Amino acid sequence: MASTLITGANGQLGRSLRDIAEKLPGTLHFTDIGELDICDRSAVNEYVKANDIDLIINCAAYTAVDKAEDEPEVAGRINSGAAAILAEAAKENSALLVHISTDYVFDGNGPRPYRESDSTSPASVYGKTKLAGEKAVEESGCRYIIIRTAWLYSEYGNNFAKTIIRLAQERGMASVVFDQTGTPTYAGDLANAIAEVASHKDDPEFHKNGERRIYHFSNEGVCSWYDFALEIVERAGIKTATIKPVTSDLFPSKASRPAYSVLDKGLIKSTYGMTIPHWKISLKKCIDSLNNNK
């Protein structure tokens, strides 16, 4: 009986996967650290074996980018060590591991959208530990698909979109950087992309050609955080709010962030025949959903 393990299932992406559970294959096991600590090798091995898991979707991560500068060991244990543990369990059970990574593996000095084959050069502890996680998965010998994503937001948890709405409502203004460029990713769209990828897990064609690869996924389009914030308040109907464009030097942060981190999604689109919505369309969807659940 096919069985899927989703780790970090209380996070943004994990909760978005719960929303589309009917699109995921087999019996579903949604777990977070309370049910399964992915840093615990024997617990992971036992869980995967006992539940006959043949697909692991790893949404668990240490995602506090600035805090990671002060806690490199903790970030490394979750983002890299646990990725190795999951990959080892996947290999032993002939399971497919779908592992999520980040645009922070790049330094952000690129002249064009990043392709999967571009050389990596993370500038932060978070980016370094995520890259080490990718390498651990690649070197494990398991069946894997790594999906790098960027600027993730959703109805859940804390994220940029929800922060801007709160600041606009409470203070009537927010200062937002316009010198960092990328593309937002609605977690609901990433969840659908993962379901699409997972639906091919038993297809021999994809087994041979679509696996053991890195893919890039974000929404379509390009913007600065400032453009993103403007669209958020517009869509949320907060007409009185002022969004002020500022440069990054006004917001000194512990971790260095890529100035340019647009991802080229050509490979995932051509491999899986995917159509990806423009970021503005998905932002509207997310804000409508937030408004409906008020």
Ligand X SMILES: NC(=O)c1ccc[n+]([C@@H]2O[C@H](COP(=O)([O-])OP(=O)(O)OC[C@H]3O[C@@H](n4cnc5c(N)ncnc54)[C@H](OP(=O)(O)O)[C@@H]3O)[C@@H](O)[C@H]2O)c1
Beta bridge partners of 167: none
**Cα–Cα dist 232/38, whole Å:** 35
What is the DSSP track for 253-282?
Answer: -SS---SB-PBP-HHHHHHHT----BHHHH
Beta bridge partners of 146: 99, 214
Of the two residues 3 and 102, which places its CB atom closer to ligand X in the complex? 102
CB of 82 to ligand X, least distance (A): 6
Pick out residues in 75-114 that bind ligand X (CB under 6 A). Answer: 78, 82, 100, 102
Exactly one of 19, 23, 26, 39 binds ligand X (CB under 6 A); that residue is 39
Element holding 244 (H helix, E strand): strand 242-246
CB of 187 to ligand X, least distance (A): 6
Which member of 126, 144, 156, 226 is catalytic? 126
Of the two residues 150 and 198, which places its CB atom closer to ligand X in the complex? 150
* Burial class of residue 250, CB neighbours in 10 A (0-12, 13-18, 19+): exposed
Does 149 contact ligand X by CB under 6 A?
Answer: yes
Pick out residues in 187-216 that bind ligand X (CB under 6 A). Answer: none
Instruction: For Cα atoms 154, 158, 163, give the angle at the middle one, nearest 5 degrees.
Output: 95
Whether residue 261 contacts residue 114, with contact meaning beta carbons closer than 8 Å, is answered with yes
Of the two residues 11 and 122, which places its CB atom closer to ligand X in the complex? 11
> Hey, how many other C-beta atoms are within 10 angstroms of the C-beta on 181?
18
Exactly one of 5, 6, 24, 38 binds ligand X (CB under 6 A); that residue is 38
Phi, psi (rounded to 5 degrees) for 75: -60, -40
Exactly one of 37, 116, 118, 196 binds ligand X (CB under 6 A); that residue is 37
CB of 34 to ligand X, least distance (A): 8
Is residue 126 part of the annotated active site? The answer reads: yes
> Hey, how many other C-beta atoms are within 10 angstroms of the C-beta on 37?
17
Of the two residues 207 and 255, which places its CB atom closer to ligand X in the complex? 255
Of the two residues 207 and 220, which places its CB atom closer to ligand X in the complex? 220
Does 13 contact ligand X by CB under 6 A?
Answer: yes
CB of 239 to ligand X, least distance (A): 28
**Cα–Cα dist 182/60, whole Å:** 23
Does 33 contact ligand X by CB under 6 A?
Answer: yes
Window of 60-68, 88-96, 161-169, 201-209 that interacts with ligand X by CB under 6 A: 60-68
> Hey, how many other C-beta atoms are within 10 angstroms of the C-beta on 241?
22
For residue 30, give Cα distances in angstroms to 3, 20, 101, 261: 11, 12, 19, 31
User: Using only C-alpha atoms, what is the Rg of the chain?
Assistant: 19
Pick out residues in 151-170 that bind ligand X (CB under 6 A). Answer: 151-152, 157
Of the two residues 220 and 242, which places its CB atom closer to ligand X in the complex? 220
Residue with tokens 């399971």: 95
Does 127 contact ligand X by CB under 6 A?
Answer: no
Does 120 contact ligand X by CB under 6 A?
Answer: no
| Residue with smallest beta-carbon separation from ligand X | 11
Active-site residues, by number, are 126
Q: Which residues bind ligand X (CB under 6 A)?
A: 7-8, 10-13, 32-33, 37-39, 59-61, 63, 78, 82, 100, 102, 130, 149-152, 157
